[in-house]
Chain A
């Protein structure tokens, strides 16, 4: 079965550079979530999209922005990178329903290292 695809899998950037992370959800899934997992931490919600519109926002820095495109893939844009942005970034997708019962399926993550 098709899974969530994230690219790149690994990314090394220097401070103050920019980075773009991509996420391709499971086919027919209409909702995308972005999470950040720091070393030894639990995943923290950043932002989500439903049908190409932002649906919720968490602890996402102003330096970060994201969008969902017409083909439902999503991109997380990160500017003015800081050392503290080094983390594993996960994308998850789900099929939205009125009861919010659907589980989220996670991609393998993008490991961002800022030097």
Chain B
């Protein structure tokens, strides 16, 4: 089945550091990938839609300069949290959808737990 790989699974770093998270579709091409953020015991909130070869579409309230998204190929999207601060600590999870019928589910990476000290 379709697999999405997300790396790293956990990051602990100092305030002010920039952190890059990778999301790869391993056995299918994904023209669109999605980035979500999840606080403990809460829902997944869509941050942005990543489009291969074009600029990402950000949801209202998400800072474009803070959360840089690059989708340079059909199998890789990256999310960079720039100058991270403790309030950026969260669970970040990406998803991608294989081509095919509209009933195809989005496949999720295993997520990245980001902790900013």
Bound pair (A, B) = no
B-to-A contact residues, CB < 8 Å: none
List A residues at the B interface (Cβ < 8 Å): none
